[in-house]
Amino acid sequence: DEVAQHNALESATMNPTSQIARPDEMLEAYQKEAILKAAIAQLDEDHRTLIVLRDIEHLTYEQIQEITGLAEGTVKSRLHRARHALRDKVRRMAEGRRSSIPQEPTKKKA
């Protein structure tokens, strides 16, 4: 749901290493952040603007309406579409990154 997506986006954009101790977890957090930033950058300008204003800058719908000149319902529906587009981009980028990571060789059974 959108609240969960919003919370996930918010937590991913915060300092990803604030409570992480292990180097592999730190690396994973940095990779996730890099994917998220790249995915946001690839959104069309209208979607990127709404994501930044609402999910990163934490502006209210009313504030976004004033900035963009869009009706509140339009802001909400476009933000919904923007979040779906972002989710799809993140998913594709993460899948692409996983497929490019070299796999450990499997041991042959004797």
Q: Which residue matches tokens 């579409």?
A: 81
Q: Please report, as a single letter, which amino acid is at residue 99.
A: S
Q: Does some domain include residue 9?
A: yes
For 19, the token pair is 């409570």
At 89, is the pLDDT very low, low, confident or very high (cuts 50, 70, 90)? Answer: very high
**What is the residue range of 90's domain?**
2-100
Q: Please report, as a single letter, which amino acid is at residue 62.
A: E
Distance CA 2, CA 54 (A): 12
Distance CA 48, CA 54 (A): 10
Encode pLDDT of 11-68 as tens digits: 655 555 556 468 888 888 889 999 999 999 999 999 999 999 999 999 999 999 999 9
Number of domains into which the chain is organized: 1
Whether pTM > 0.85 for this model: the answer is no
Q: Does some domain include residue 76?
A: yes
